Amino acid sequence: MNDIDPALLRGLTQRRISRRTLLRGALLGVGGAAIAAGLAGCSIPGSAEGAAVQKIDWKAFWAKQKPTKHLNFANWPLYIDQEKGKYPSLEAFTKATGIAVNYQQVIQNNAPFYATVAPQLRAHQDIGYDIVVMTNGWELTEMISNGFVMQLDHSRLPNFAKNAAANVKNPPYDPNNKHSVVWQTGFTGLAYNTKLAPKKVTSFKDLLDPAFKGHVGMMNDNTELGSAGLLAVGIEPTTSTPADWRKAAAWLKEGRPNVSGYYDQSYIDKLQNGDTWISQAWSGDVFQAQANGAKHLEFVIPAEGQMVWHDNMMIPMQAENPLSALSWMNFYYTPEIAGMVEDWVNYVCPVPSAKEYILKELDDPDVANSPLVFPSPAVDKVTHNFRVFKDYDEYEEWNSIFNPVIQG
C-alpha cells in the first residue's frame, strides 16, 4: 500500500449510505425476493457435475502466466463500497496497479449462477470472469471437487498470510485455502426484539418457550435451519451424521407450534415490525438494522454456539487474467482496502487490522467498535462451521430430512 497516495485514499473514503439502506431502495424496483434471498449468503441446493479433475502442475502454470491490465470481477449486488456509481476501493486498485476492473453485480444466488457457468466450465471454456464470489456450500464444493477453479499461488498473496483473520484461514470446505480466500464473513445466531420479548434471550431453548408462541421466526434455508437444530441438541455440525440430523429435525419439529414462519432475508423486517419477537438472524443484517435506527434489536450468540459462513473469491478455470485476480486478492487483504469495503458492507471483516483504519482514518467508531463487524478472538471458540457434504447423495439425505420441517 506504500504506492498509494494517502490523500487519494482519504478522498475515496467519504461516509457512504449503508448497503442495507440501498438494498431497500433496490428492492422497490427489481425482483426483491430473488435479491433478498441471494444476499443472505446461503447455499441453495445444486447438483453434481461429475466432471473429471484435470491434473495440473500449478507451480509451472503460475510461472508461465503473463501480467495483464484487466480484471473481470463477478460479485453479488451491493457488496462493495460505492460512491456515486463508482467503487472507490477498485479505483484505488487501478490507481496503484494500472489494472482496469470490469465489475459486474451478477451473482444473486449461488445455485442459479453455478448452473449458468457449469456447462462452460465443464467444456473448459472461459466464463468471462477472473474472480467469482461464492458462499461455502454445495455449489462451492462442487466447483472445487470438479476442478472448475484454479489453485491459488499463495506466494503472490503475502497480505493474506499477514493480515487474514484466523477464522478465514484453512476452512474445512477448502483446506489451506488452496482455491479460495474469503471476501466477507457473517455469523448466524439469534436476534430478538427487546421491546416485545417477554424475557432476555440467551439460548436456542428460548425458541421452544411457550411465551414466544406464534412469534418465532426461522430461516427457510435448510442448511441454516438444520445447523441450528444440531447446535440446539449439542451436536457439532461438521462431524454430524444422518442419525444426528434426524435428532436435530425432531427438535425443530417440536418447536413448530411456536413458529410464525420460515423466512428468507425478510426475517429482519418481521423482527423489526414486531411480527416476530425472536428469530434466527445474520449478524450483518442486525448491525445494519441497528445502524438504521432499530436499536431495539439485539443479536445473541446462543449458549450452544453460532454458525459462521464465508463468501469466497475464487478464480475460474480458463480465466483470462489470473494474475490480475491474485493482485486484487492481495490488495484487498490490506487494512486500508478491506477497511474501505467493510465500512460500507458491514459484515464480519476478514482483516482484523482494518478496525484501526476505520476508526482513525475513516472516523467511523460505530463500525470499528461493533462486535458484529470486528468480533473478539474469544468468539471463535463458540463459532461452528457448516457440514461439508462428501457427495451428492449425502447432500440429498440432508435435504430429505430438513425440508419437511419447513414444509410442515
pLDDT per residue over 39-87, tens digit each?
333 333 343 444 446 789 999 999 999 999 999 999 999 899 999 889 9
Domains and CATH numbers, the chain: 6-185+309-374 (3.40.190.10), 188-308+389-400 (3.40.190.10)
- pLDDT tens digits for range 187-223: 999 999 999 999 999 999 999 999 999 999 999 999 9
C-alpha span between 400 and 230 (Å, rounded): 16
- Confidence at residue 403, expressed as pLDDT on a 0 to 100 scale: 96
Place of cell 480466500: 181
CA-CA-CA-CA torsion sign (329, 333, 337, 343) = positive
Residue 129 has pLDDT above 90, yes or no: yes
C-alpha span between 150 and 305 (Å, rounded): 34
SS3 for 201? coil
C-alpha span between 338 and 331 (Å, rounded): 9
Distance from CA of residue 340 to its chain's centroid?
17
What proportion of the chain, given as a percentage, has pLDDT over 70? 87
Cβ burial 72-82 (10 Å sphere, 16+ → b, else e): bbbbbbbbbbb
- Confidence at residue 124, expressed as pLDDT on a 0 to 100 scale: 94
In the 8-state DSSP scheme, what is residue 216? E
C-alpha span between 125 and 115 (Å, rounded): 14
Cβ count within 10 A of residue 39? 24
Answer for the pair 153, 250: CB distance below 8 angstroms, yes or no: no
- pLDDT tens digits for range 252-290: 999 999 999 999 888 999 999 999 999 999 998 999 899
Answer for the pair 101, 90: CB distance below 8 angstroms, yes or no: yes
Burial of 13 (0-12, 13-18, 19+ CB in 10 A): buried
pTM of the model: 0.84
Answer for the pair 237, 231: CB distance below 8 angstroms, yes or no: yes
